[in-house]
Amino acid sequence: MQNKSKAKKTWKWILISILVIIVAVVGYAIYWSVGVYNALDNFKDPVVEATPNGTSETPVPIPEWEGTERVNILLLGGDARGLDEGQKARSDSIMVASFDPVTKKAHLLSVLRDTYVEIEGHGHGRINTALTLGDYPLAMKTVGDLLGLDIQYYVYTDFEGFKALVDTIGGIDFYVEKDMHYTDNGDQNRYDIDLKEGFQHLDGDKALQYVRFRHDAMSDFTRTERQRNFLKAVAKELQSTWNILQMKKILESVQPYVDMNMSVNDMLKLGQLGVKSHVAGTTQVPPMELIAEDRVGGASVIAVKDEDELHEYIQELLQSDETIPVPSETPVPSDGSSNTPSE
């Protein structure tokens, strides 16, 4: 009888312990959800300034995302040093993250900033000037026209926003492929680059040095490749359970440095899609085989040989998946024996 009572008491405490754990988890989930929602709500759409004649500088329509078709997000990195308040920086880096909600495949496209394109209402120019000429909507349309894609969203940040993101997720373990050195005399040498070759832990400052470096033979070509590789590492880190739980803190850290045109609901939907997706491929745009070097006003620019071919190239890329192994040309029999004739 005593053993029965003791067993009953033991089970009672086990059940109470389980209930306490469940309540704690549910309570934290509610706290986390409310905290993330409030943090997302702090991201306000930037106000587009009107011109002196009262018309908007950016009358370019932006396609809407319904949540079921492919979504394309323009990622802009700007160097705002030396600009007065209200002035818009040129795009120091231009990328497009493209997600397929059905296949959960994501692709990252780097656009060479000196690509010479048509900018609606402004003739032809380097693609990185579209942001300065017509704000975010014109930058979205210009990049979208180049790629043959509808771009629904943009996210803009400057140097400090990038550093804040990397620092908040705890930095990134990454291989730096060579020594990188550059002295930048602006801002009291705040953005000098001094990295050694080797596998190392990059904090926000070191990560910024890595993705900015372009003082080698291939200049912006190798820089955009480094940026894509580093952002793949950041994306993987953001998908970790620890950083998902830290999302409120991460959002609050970057919020002062970010502009975007997403509603809270859009961000929540895209966040869920991002966690479920994997990076299936990355590329430079235009690819080397479609580049035609040109000169405008004595300066070198990057022209596109054939825009239709470029659009076909992008569509083929978006259907591909680098993470799937390529089948062997010589199939191996199921019994494990070789097809090679014996001598």
Is residue 337 predicted with pLDDT exceeding 60?
no
Is the distance from CB of 284 to CB of 302 less than 8 angstroms?
no
Q: What is the dihedral of CA 184, 186, 190, 194, to 10 degrees?
A: 0
The answer to whether 39 and 113 have CB atoms below 8 angstroms apart is no
How far apart CA 78 and CA 31 sit, in angstroms, is 34
Is the pLDDT confidence value at 339 over 60? no
Dihedral of the alpha carbons of 312, 317, 318, 324, in degrees to the nearest 10? 150
pLDDT (tens digit, 9 = 90+) per residue, 219-274?
Answer: 677 888 888 888 888 888 877 766 667 777 887 888 888 888 888 778 778 877 88
Largest Cα separation within the chain, whole Å, is 99
Q: CA 40, CA 252: separation in Å to the nearest integer?
A: 8
Place of tokens 């059905």: 102
Q: What pLDDT is recorded for position 22?
A: 52
Cβ atoms of residues 154 and 179 within 8 Å? no
CB 99 within 8 A of CB 9: no
Question: What's the whole-number average pLDDT of the chain?
Answer: 79
Tokens of 76: 């802009």
Q: What is the C-alpha separation between 165 and 123, in angstroms, rounded?
A: 36
What is the distance between the alpha carbons of residues 116 and 306, in angstroms, rounded to a whole number? 13
pLDDT average, residue stretch 9-14: 61
